[in-house]
Amino acid sequence: MRVAFKVHGFVQGVGYRYYVKRIANKLKIAGYVQNLDDGSVLVVAEAEEAALNEFEKLLYVTIKHGIQVLNIEKTNEESAEKLIDFNVKD
């Protein structure tokens, strides 16, 4: 299953992408995270549904090293090719 999360809040320039990578690796989730021009962060994640549900809960961070997630938009994604690992994109 593949899901995209668009994360809004104070999430750029505060280490959020690297936080996301750490939890993705811990939960064995493949995909990527990248900053978007509108100040949000895009997270694309592929794993079993239970792991994705846990991952989504952990994406909500409040005031940790300046990070504050205000809201997350979640959409299901079509998976043309299987993702293998989790990367931070510029």
Residues involved in catalysis? 17, 35
Q: Is 46 exposed, middle or buried (0-12, 13-18, 19+ CB in 10 A)?
A: buried
One-letter amino acid for residue 52 of the chain: L
Query: Tokens representing 43?
Result: 């997270």
